[in-house]
Amino acid sequence: MSSTRLRLDHLMQPDDLAKAVEIGHVTRRTHPELPLSIYAYTRSCQYEQAWTDVTSRCRGLVVDDETGEVAALPLPKFFNAAEHALDRPYAPALPDEPFEVYDKVDGSLAIVFHHSGRWHVASKGSFISEQATWAGRWLAGQDTGRLVPGTTYLAEILYPENRIVVNYGDRRDLVLLAAYGPDGTEVPLAEAAVAWEPIGSVVRVWPAMPLAELVGLTSSSTLPGGGASTGTDAEGFVIRFASGLRAKVKIAEYVRLHRILTGITERDIWRGYGIQRFRDAGRAPKLVAQAVGASIAEATSATPLDDLLEQVPDEFDAWVRGVIERLEAALADRERAIDEAYATISHLGGDRAAFARAAQALPDRAVKAAMFQRLEGRPTDLVVWRALKPVAADPFKTDEDS
């Protein structure tokens, strides 16, 4: 392996990288102290499937701004094995060559590199994220004497507070996945593992098996050996072909849970719970649909919230229940405020003009809007529920490496 340091212009055209940043397919963040920039593809790039030689390489690519040298080279973006059968330009047909099978570890990527006389850790798109900070503290407490300066070590960050879907319990670890030498050549995992041994564990390697068998196992949520997977015990597998190309195969039950945990927000809970709550109270489906911004079909679906909570981790269930409790408390408070306000002007009910003037004088806009509904004996809970719609919020879990 050559010790020549890889440069950015050996990897890609810098103008192409600048354009990707300009159009929002790649982010560039600078180090708080050192002349370094880290490049990472964006959500927009993922949604648009704008995968190019540039965007796929920007998965935590660290560049020295002064020299143009690559300070840390991450694994390029790799795709589900099924995508390679769809004739997509960024995912060509998988090669007919031997491959190894590794665990797909469910954490956050750690990019470990040496610069300015010491070792540093970045996550996929940040030098200072919570995950990078945790991994930096972990690394600082370990013996790094065997690590080779110039080599990029890529590991998965595991600690309880950073759980995505798989439950690793109290495990705290940096799980070595791969390594690249300074010239961009991949270091054999066994060789890198010797240097990594004092720091953390190494990704598990599975016995060779036919690709079709592996795909069959994951699609039926079955682990090698025949045991059933719950989705919280394993994410899936990474296939590394002899040429270095990687693809991933995820366990079906993991995929289902990941979609829920990283995609469901408080607004989704407000909608799903609202449908069940008011439908069960006998409210007309059309009115329920209008209140939560759903279709009639959605408003009459069986159990939207219960379906959401089927076989999810306890932590997610508790989060959902907590959101529901807050919504119920807010609904009760608002209904109580409406009752109290109505009591102060109800005596004017025989004179609609006087009643309207008194309602208009009320300080709370949401309360005043409900006064005539109370006067006419109509319930106000659906109107209140609509007003309680949460603002756009983050999902229960954020997976920056997805």
Q: Which domain holds residue 109?
A: 76-250
228 and 273 inside one domain: no
Number of separate domains in the chain? 2
187 and 302 inside one domain: no
* Last-in-domain residue among 218, 250, 282: 250
* Unique residue bearing structure tokens 């408003």: 299
| Residues across the chain | 402
Question: What H or E segment, with its residue span, contains residue 292?
Answer: helix 285-292
Say what the pTM is: 0.81
CA pair distance 178, 59, nearest whole angstrom: 14
299 is a domain residue: yes
197 is a domain residue: yes
95 and 164 inside one domain: yes
What pLDDT is attached to residue 401?
Answer: 62
166 and 145 inside one domain: yes
270 and 383 inside one domain: yes
64 is a domain residue: no
221 and 296 inside one domain: no
Half-sphere exposure of 85 (CA within 13 A, CB side): 6
400 is a domain residue: no
Q: List the CATH number of the domain containing 220.
A: 3.30.470.30
Check the CA dihedral 356-358-359-365 and report its sign.
positive
102 and 128 inside one domain: yes
DSSP at 83? G
What pLDDT is attached to residue 366?
Answer: 80
Instruction: Give the residue among 107, 125, 397 at the shortest CA–CA distance from 258.
Output: 397
* Last-in-domain residue among 250, 274, 290: 250
Arithmetic mean of pLDDT over the chain:
92
35 is a domain residue: no
pLDDT tens digits, residue range 244-288?
A: 999 999 999 999 898 888 888 999 899 989 998 898 888 999 999
What pLDDT is attached to residue 71?
Answer: 98
Task: Write phi, then psi, for 359 (nearest 5 degrees).
Answer: -65, -40
pLDDT tens digits, residue range 277-297?
A: 898 888 999 999 999 888 888
132 is a domain residue: yes
What pLDDT is attached to residue 310?
Answer: 67
246 and 377 inside one domain: no
Angle, alpha carbons 327-306-226 (nearest 5°): 135
281 and 190 inside one domain: no
Average pLDDT on 184-192 reads: 97
297 and 164 inside one domain: no
244 and 170 inside one domain: yes
Average pLDDT on 327-349 reads: 95
284 is a domain residue: yes
CA pair distance 338, 48, nearest whole angstrom: 46
* Last-in-domain residue among 195, 228, 250: 250
Average pLDDT on 100-124 reads: 96
121 and 141 inside one domain: yes
